[in-house]
């Protein structure tokens, strides 16, 4: 627990979604060749973080960990001192629609592949596309995970889904499969502060991706970059500073996330030009990310999610939440 003179905690993570996973979600058949940009983006991320003395949590996709071509790259993340998390094996944002046995196999395979590739066994999980279900939580508890980080408490999920359907190349069957992608309006009723899932004889800490207190609008870094392309950098940073100020005023310890495309520009990955903010150069993105992280660090001590979960557990959480999903 922070002392009276220290900063409150914030946690920072990165979902290491690969090029193929974005193409797959978009409905582009090119994903089947499993194109990878990890050799480009991981060194860039590590350099950015090392320059700031910052350690974070990086959630890795199991299929990438199982690929011999990317194992050395992924091992470099652990060697740099960052926490390794589990981001599922196949990175399908409709993971919540899997059967209980399919969920167990998906998370278990990812766990084993990630531990083998990096030398670190994950203790934290984030579902692709913020997918979460009772089956997921029960599997994590059985595997001895300490925390889940899959919830995004916001009301704008249906808008995000509509934008996704409008810009993707999906068949009728694929649209039906993904009809609950990004959640519904009811997700905005979920807490933005950490809480504990009650799972019968076990429990699991939930650390939500923090949204703007009261408003429940996102302010993670990909969202800020998107705002900068639409409204300009000053407006995007003003919004970010207001969100951080609201967290500080209401004593919310934020948990924010990054994505690989926050570090990649239009000159790096032409196949993902459809993605928001991919018309911006990498240099412009890194400058904005650096400014935002500096502002966050001025108000909070930014730590990996593992350290945040440890502090939360040490303080104790009152009560527990029973999983209920529509």
Rounded to the nearest integer, the mean pLDDT of the chain is 92
How many residues comprise the chain? 326
The pTM of the full predicted model, rounded to 2 decimals, is 0.92
pLDDT interval class at 66 (50, 70, 90): very high
Domain ranges of the chain: 9-314
Q: Is 197 helix (H, G, I), strand (E, B) or coil?
A: strand
pLDDT of residue 252: 98
pLDDT of residue 61: 98
By CB atoms closer than 10 A (0-12, 13-18, 19+), residue 275 is middle
* Neighbouring residues of 253: CB distance < 8 A, sequence distance ≥ 6: 8, 9, 10, 11, 193, 194, 247, 300, 308
Average pLDDT over residues 43-68: 98
Q: Convert the pLDDT of each residue in 243-299 to its tens digit.
A: 999 999 999 999 999 999 999 999 999 999 988 899 999 999 999 999 999 999 999
To 10 degrees, the CA torsion angle through 236, 238, 240, 242? Answer: -150
Q: What is the largest CA-CA distance in the chain?
A: 57
**Phi and psi torsions of 266, nearest 5°:** -60, -25
Give the C-alpha separation, 118 to 125, whole Å: 16
Domain 9-314 adopts which CATH fold?
TIM Barrel (3.20.20)
User: Could you tell me the sign of the dihedral formed by the alpha carbons of 207, 208, 210, 213, in that order?
Assistant: negative
Q: Convert the pLDDT of each residue in 126-183 to its tens digit.
A: 999 999 999 999 999 999 999 999 999 998 756 665 655 666 666 666 666 655 666 6
The β-bridge partners of 57 are 13, 83
**Lowest-confidence pick of 28-32, 50-54, 57-61, 119-123:** 28-32
């Amino acid at each position: 627990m922070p002392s009276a003179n220290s900063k409150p905690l914030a946690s920072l993570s990165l979902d290491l979604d690969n090029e193929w996973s974005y193409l797959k979600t978009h409905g582009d058949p090119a994903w089947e060749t499993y194109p990878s940009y990890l050799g480009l983006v991981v060194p860039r991320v590590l350099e950015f973080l090392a320059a700031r003395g910052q350690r974070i949590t990086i959630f890795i996709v199991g299929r990438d960990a199982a690929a011999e071509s990317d194992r050395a790259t992924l091992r470099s993340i652990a060697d740099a001192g960052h926490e390794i998390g589990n981001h599922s094996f196949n990175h399908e944002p409709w993971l919540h629609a899997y059967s209980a046995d399919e969920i167990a196999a998906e998370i278990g395979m990812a766990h084993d592949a990630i531990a083998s590739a990096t030398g670190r066994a994950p203790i934290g999980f984030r579902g692709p596309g913020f997918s979460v279900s009772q089956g997921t939580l029960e599997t994590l508890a059985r595997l001895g995970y300490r925390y889940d980080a899959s919830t995004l408490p916001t009301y704008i999920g249906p808008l995000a889904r509509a934008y996704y359907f409008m810009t993707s190349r999906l068949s009728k069957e694929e649209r039906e499969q993904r009809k609950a992608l990004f959640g519904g309006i009811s997700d905005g009723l979920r807490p933005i502060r950490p809480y504990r899932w009650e799972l019968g004889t076990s429990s699991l800490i939930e650390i939500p991706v923090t949204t703007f207190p009261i408003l429940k609008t996102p302010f993670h870094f990909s969202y800020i970059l998107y705002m900068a392309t639409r409204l300009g950098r000053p407006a995007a940073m003003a919004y970010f500073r207001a969100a951080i100020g609201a967290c500080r005023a209401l004593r919310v310890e934020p948990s924010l996330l990054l994505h690989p495309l926050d570090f990649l520009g239009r000159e790096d990955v032409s196949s993902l030009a459809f993605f928001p903010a991919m018309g911006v150069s990498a240099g412009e993105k890194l400058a904005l990310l650096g400014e935002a992280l500096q502002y966050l660090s001025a108000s909070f001590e930014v730590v990996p999610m593992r350290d945040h979960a440890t502090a939360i557990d040490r303080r104790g959480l009152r009560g527990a939440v029973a999983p209920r999903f529509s």
